[in-house]
Amino acid sequence: MTGFRFCPHCAGELQQEDHGGFARGVCREDGCGYIHWDNPTPVVAAVVEYDGGLILARNAAWAPGRFALVTGFLERHEDPAEAVLREVEEELGLRAVQPPTFIGHYPFERMNQLIIAYHVKAEGEVVLNEELAEWRYVRMDRAKYWPAATGLALRDWLRGQGFDPQESALPPARPE
């Protein structure tokens, strides 16, 4: 079972039961009946176009050499298009030069997230916040995608721009 092992309302142990076609954690304590639905968390991702290329970033918590798209959690009552602009500005210090364009949505099962991906054309000076350790500039014709949520968003956007990106096993380990 993913998620909780104990009920967040009464601390009773959750039992596995089928609800809505999926195994869910259910509390059987008298008067409780809590069900842990374990719904995915919405996350926005940005394919950041910058100075004719792309920016990939390394989260400070990641091993050196791993770069991916800028991502962030969608806040309550926040529009995803506004959220992606907020994330690009907060994490890279860049501002958009036009409204973001929707690329698609992608399941990221390993983290139980739904990635909502946008293209953001940005300008300014890159200034990383504390969440990011470093960034890489990648030419569009050299960009590779990885076969998971944000990588698939990058692939789809590049294909829409007329490029034929090649697959990489993981997010790029070094500048390309």
The rounded distance, in Å, linking the Cα atoms of 69 and 56 is 5
- Which are the contacts of 41, defined by CB distance < 8 A and separation ≥ 6? 73, 111, 112, 113, 114
- On the 0-12 / 13-18 / 19+ scale of CB atoms within 10 A, 49 is buried
Q: Walk me through the domains of the chain, giving residue ranges and CATH numbers.
A: 1-38 (no CATH), 41-161 (3.90.79.10)
The rounded distance, in Å, linking the Cα atoms of 50 and 158 is 14
- Structure confidence at residue 4 (pLDDT): 81
Buried b (16+ CB within 10 A) or exposed e, 54-83: bbbbbbeeeeeebbbbbbbebeeeeebbeb
- Which are the contacts of 127, defined by CB distance < 8 A and separation ≥ 6? 92, 93
The rounded distance, in Å, linking the Cα atoms of 139 and 137 is 7
- Structure confidence at residue 45 (pLDDT): 98
The rounded distance, in Å, linking the Cα atoms of 173 and 62 is 11
Please identify which residue in the block is written with the tokens 């390993």.
110
Report the sign of the C-alpha dihedral through residues 59, 61, 63, 64, in that order.
positive
pTM of the model: 0.87
- Structure confidence at residue 35 (pLDDT): 94
pLDDT per position as a tens digit, 120-142? 999 999 999 999 999 999 999 99
- Which are the contacts of 91, defined by CB distance < 8 A and separation ≥ 6? 57, 70, 72, 128, 129, 131, 132
* Low-confidence residues of the chain: pLDDT under 70: 1-3, 170-176
With residue 41 as reference, give the H or E element that holds it: strand 41-50
- Structure confidence at residue 55 (pLDDT): 98
The rounded distance, in Å, linking the Cα atoms of 40 and 110 is 10
- Structure confidence at residue 175 (pLDDT): 42
